[in-house]
Amino acid sequence: MPGLDEGTDPSADDLVQPFQIEVSGLRGRLVRLGPALDEILSRHDYPEPVARLLGEAVVLAAILSSALKYDGVFSLQTTGDGPVPLMVVDITSTGDLRGYARFDTGRLGAATGTAVTELIGDGLLAFTVDQGDFTDRYQGIVELSGDSLADCLQHYFRQSEQIDAGIVIAAGRPNGAWRAGGVMVQRLPDAERKVPSSDREDDWRRAMILLGSATTDELLDPGLAANGLLYRLYHEDGVRVFAPARLRAACRCSRDRVADMLGALPRDEVEDMKEDGAVSVQCEFCNSTYLFDDAQLEAVFA
């Protein structure tokens, strides 16, 4: 692999960059999102705290899905009793990313903070992998706790997988457009065999301290490439990068899929959905609207 220096290639956005810290053998993943995230968030008129929270959820989904081998769709969902009762993010194994949030404007105005427990309320973070055959469905679920989605995920790893994980995430609009970044370092059982256990603890603590030194500005800075950020964090210990995976904003909805969905419903129920002579179906992910007039409905039920 080429030597890692403080590269600043700004085109290196919308990717997952796996890496390894040479001294300790600890593995990690960095996610950088620029245009893809801006496209996802800009299709809706989200209040600032909702957009930021959904941006963080998108980073989390990208980090988590990249750690799994699957062929299908990874989906992350939060549900709760707060002003943001639902967020859904999904990502295909080829890197197509989409997501949406539901929110209650009135209750959002009354919220006093931006902690997940404030915005989502009492609730759950869940993720699944759908490989199409329903036989290989990986599911993780954890109660929401702490201030951030990163806290919730760390909690999940400790509780369910007994893996230590350090995660930092940020989403924001440094130059008007939405961006997000995140880094996760995991302590996996097979990664550190060669090292004595006392050193392992030191390595882990050191990796966590360095991870914690990543600032929101650095995570979001469009002028600081993914490799440049890793170099800043871990250059003293040596950091090796592996082939990155590309991400893009892409919705899987289509007129044919909507027609199939309508066709599976009782016809009188669909007729009741008509307004101004047509049935209108809106995709929650990308906000595309699909209209079906009488002739088109006739074709759906033909």
Which range, of 25-33, 154-162, 263-271, 284-292, touches Zn ion by CB under 5 A? 284-292
Nearer to Zn ion, 219 or 253 (CB): 253
286 sits near Zn ion (criterion: CB under 5 A): yes
Which range, of 4-12, 124-132, 143-151, 285-293, touches Zn ion by CB under 5 A? 285-293
Burial class (CB in 10 A: 0-12, 13-18, 19+), 54: buried
- Residues ≥6 apart with Cβ < 8 Å to 276: none
Nearer to Zn ion, 88 or 108 (CB): 88
State the nearest-atom distance from the C-beta of 261 to Zn ion, in Å: 12
253 sits near Zn ion (criterion: CB under 5 A): yes
Nearer to Zn ion, 4 or 261 (CB): 261
Reference 186, options 294, 29, 72, 13; nearest CA is 29
d(CA 68, CA 295): 45
Nearer to Zn ion, 246 or 252 (CB): 252
251 sits near Zn ion (criterion: CB under 5 A): yes
d(CA 84, CA 79): 8
State the nearest-atom distance from the C-beta of 290 to Zn ion, in Å: 9
Amino acid at 76: L
3-state secondary structure of 34: coil
Residues 155-194 that bind Zn ion (CB under 5 A): none
Nearer to Zn ion, 23 or 250 (CB): 250
- Beta strands 289-293 and 164-172: pairing type? unpaired
d(CA 224, CA 13): 10
Site string for Zn ion, 209-248 (x = CB under 5 A): ----------------------------------------
283 sits near Zn ion (criterion: CB under 5 A): yes
Q: Angle CA(141)–CA(245)–CA(164) in degrees, nearest 5?
A: 40
Q: Which two tokens stand for residue 17?
A: 């960059």
Nearer to Zn ion, 255 or 267 (CB): 255
State the nearest-atom distance from the C-beta of 115 to Zn ion, in Å: 30
d(CA 223, CA 174): 11
d(CA 7, CA 280): 48
3-state secondary structure of 91: strand
DSSP code, position 68: S
State the nearest-atom distance from the C-beta of 253 to Zn ion, in Å: 3
According to CB under 5 A, which one of 100, 127, 285, 290 is a site residue for Zn ion?
285
State the nearest-atom distance from the C-beta of 13 to Zn ion, in Å: 22
Per CB under 5 A, residues contacting Zn ion are 251, 253, 283, 285-286, 288
